[in-house]
């Protein structure tokens, strides 16, 4: 069975490969800047941030491995014993693009274990376009389905629905974007689940590449930038009001700057802002709901 | 004893007077725009928004009176009986100024009652400058103290501390601004507490006037605008992560646009953004902690 060190090693290598892949995809010569940090209670992380590229205006690819006796707040949340030795490790990614036609992408792969044998994997990839392109959405979801199907054909329908349910803003009655996959508490078969998490991590750059390459050259003006700023405000609202990982991190004394690297570089709020009817913006607004992107044969 | 209709009447009149006072203070000829709304379960509100003035770039002065059988979510939060007839009414205000030297101001006065005799008042006024001016902070707090002292000399120290405790971002280890006063659950003496809430409501325009008049003419450039955008991001974080009223409103199905009119027109997040040492921005950063603004003799 996969051991902690092997899993951690995969995550560190994944961070390296994703940063390299994104630098190449961006193509501006801009490099990730690394910030090493230590957690007072044990462990730490490698926060890597990217700013001012040709494609990515602000982004982060963070690795962390924190461990030690479980703080009371975390133990209460997870219904585990306070003080038990735990390890949590993973990679989390948020990329905010410059061009409004290139979607925001978010991904996370993570592993948690606590002394006594309890462990689980979690993760996912999801996409938030300011302008939804149906064909690109289908291709992204097809890749998510193909990635899932390698391990279990029941995964895509289950984890796609999980993402639809999770990346949802009830106070706006809209999804954050076009979803993707989201999963947590995979704990029944360690080797199978580790293989799946590796497949998901390795699918990150290939899933973003076409979304970048097909959209980065599209022309835009103030109108598209205004709409992007508006959509980013919904991203902020989701992350600060609903995102369980953000809330958990902030409440349990996680490293604020690493958690909130997910925030966009700039966002705007207008009172009762809504797109004009029969515009591309209104079309995207109408598509912010759970959709059947690819046929599912369970 | 003051009756609901009298209290509600005061709040509606207060909204009129504050909107008039702010239009006059802004001086651009821009007027508040009213949005009437109804709550499906009973009651509704008059949302009034202001955009694009000479002083205030985005703001709202909202009156609401909602009533009906208490929804389960609200009853659980307040530990009251589901289905009991309740009334909640009040005025809430957030103003985002154009000039980075003019502070953001927030105020709320509110009254709640439920059948059987339970009632309480709450409210407060607090100020969030991007650049803290100590003399202006002292004058603002002196006015808050004078307003409190008219009813009870124990109020200012107690409600000033309440504001310091409430308008605090633990994940940033900083206060939102220079505080002010905050109070809730005033329920022992209805006429005294209603008089106090009237005094607080009536103190709003006089408290903001000097902050506008002394700062609106100050020159600023990109540097000050960048800092303002940064400080506004903390305002967003406070409201979406911590503010009890915002959370309560969003979770209990309040009117989203009226609740989130508190959001700034624009905000920015930079990774690990921090002011250079020995700058006005660093000085403000160092003052984002509870301060003794005026001498207290209890």
* Number of other CB atoms surrounding residue A35 within 10 Å: 17
CA atoms within 13 A on the CB side of A57: 17
- A35 reaches B (C-beta below 8 A): yes
Q: How many CA atoms lie within 13 A of A245 on its CB side?
A: 24
- B168-169 vs A33-38, strand pairing mode: unpaired
Round to whole Å and give the CA distance between B108 and B125: 7
User: pLDDT-based confidence at B251, cuts 50/70/90?
Assistant: confident
A260 and B269 Cβ atoms separated by less than 8 Å: yes
Contact B192, B151 (CB under 8 A): yes
CA distance A84 to A119: 13
CB-closest option in A241, A257, A261 to B250: A241
ipTM: 0.94
Contact residues, chain B, for A237 at CB < 8 Å: 240, 260
Chain centre to alpha carbon of residue B43? 22
Q: If you average pLDDT over every residue of chain B, what do you get?
A: 96
Q: What percent of chain B has pLDDT over 90?
A: 89
Backbone angles phi, psi at A18, to 5 degrees: -70, -45
The values of phi and psi at residue A279, to 5°, are -120, 165
| Residue A210 host element (H or E) | helix A204-213
Structure tokens at B227: 């800092």
CA–CA dist A220, B235 (Å, integer)? 30
Q: What angle do CA A228, B94, B231 make, to 5 degrees?
A: 60
Q: Does B274 touch chain A (CB under 8 A)?
A: no
DSSP A290: -
| pLDDT level of residue B2 (50, 70, 90 thresholds) | confident
Residue burial B213-244, b: 16+ Cβ < 10 Å; e: rest: eebbeeebeeebbebbbbbbbbbbbbbbbbbe
- Given A35, A256, A266, which is nearest B268 (Cβ)? A266
- The number of CA neighbours under 13 Å toward the Cβ of A192 is 10
Q: Name every chain A residue with its beta carbon within 8 A of the beta carbon of B240.
A: 236-237, 240-241
Give the nearest chain B residue to A33 (CA atoms): B271
Which pLDDT value is given to residue B10? 98
Q: Enter the tokens of residue B206.
A: 């006089």
CB A37 within 8 Å of CB A76? no
* Rounded Cα–Cα distance for residues A153 and A216 (Å): 33
**A221: left (phi > 0), else alpha (psi -120 to 50), else beta?**
beta
> CA of A253: how far to CAs of A67, A112, B170, B172, B236, in Å?
13, 17, 9, 10, 19
| pLDDT at position B253 | 82
Contact in structure between A23 and A233 (CB atoms under 8 Å) = no
8 Å CB contact between B60 and B49: yes
Residue A73's pLDDT is what? 85
* CA of A242 vs chain B CAs: smallest distance (Å): 9
CB distance B98 to B54 below 8 Å: yes
At A282, list the tokens.
């209104």
Interchain proximity A257–B271, CB inside 8 Å: yes
Give the residues of chain A that fall short of pLDDT 50. none
Q: At B298, is the pLDDT very low, low, confident or very high (cuts 50, 70, 90)?
A: low
User: What is the pLDDT at residue A202?
Assistant: 98
The pLDDT value recorded for residue B85 is: 94
Pick the residue of A271, A272, A273, A274 with the most B CBs within 10 A to test the interface with B by mutation: A271
Q: B155 to chain A, minimum CA–CA distance in Å?
A: 31
Lowest mean pLDDT among A89-98, B68-77, B223-232: B68-77
- CB-based contact, B225 to chain A, within 8 Å: no
- The encoded tokens of residue B225 equal 């605008």
Shortest Cα distance, chain A CAs vs residue B13, angstroms: 23
Average pLDDT of the residues in B60-71: 94
Q: Position of tokens 């202006």?
A: B136
Q: Is A260 on the interface with B (CB under 8 A)?
A: yes
Cβ contacts of A49 on chain B, cutoff 8 Å: 271
What integer pLDDT is reported at residue A293 of this predicted model? Answer: 97
């Amino acid at each position: 069975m996969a051991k902690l060190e092997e899993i951690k090693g995969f995550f560190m290598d994944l961070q390296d490969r994703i940063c390299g892949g994104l630098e190449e995809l961006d193509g501006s010569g801009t490099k990730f800047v690394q910030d090493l940090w230590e957690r007072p209670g044990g462990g730490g992380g490698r926060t890597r941030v990217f700013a001012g590229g040709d494609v990515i205006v602000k982004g982060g690819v963070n690795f962390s491995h924190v461990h030690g006796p479980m703080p009371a707040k975390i133990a209460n949340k997870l219904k585990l014993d306070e003080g038990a030795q735990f390890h949590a490790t993973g990679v989390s990614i948020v990329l905010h693009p410059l061009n409004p036609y290139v979607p925001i992408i978010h991904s996370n792969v993570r592993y948690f274990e606590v002394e006594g044998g309890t462990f689980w994997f979690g993760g996912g990839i999801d996409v938030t376009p300011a302008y939804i392109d149906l064909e690109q959405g289908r291709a992204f979801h097809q890749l998510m389905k193909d990635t899932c199907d390698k391990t279990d054909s029941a995964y895509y329908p289950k984890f796609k629905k999980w993402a639809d349910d999770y990346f949802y803003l009830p106070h706006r009655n809209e999804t954050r974007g076009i979803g993707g996959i989201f999963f947590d508490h995979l704990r029944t078969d360690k080797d199978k689940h580790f293989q799946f998490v590796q497949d998901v991590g390795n699918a990150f750059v290939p899933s973003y590449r076409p979304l970048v390459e097909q959209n980065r050259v599209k022309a835009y003006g103030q109108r598209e930038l205004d709409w992007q700023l508006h959509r980013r405000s919904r991203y902020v609202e989701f992350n600060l009001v609903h995102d369980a990982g953000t809330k958990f991190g902030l409440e349990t004394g996680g490293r604020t700057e690493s958690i909130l690297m997910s925030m966009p570089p700039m966002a705007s709020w207008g009172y009762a802002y809504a797109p004009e009817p029969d515009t591309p913006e209104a079309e995207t607004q109408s598509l912010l709901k759970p959709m059947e992107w690819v046929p599912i044969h369970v």
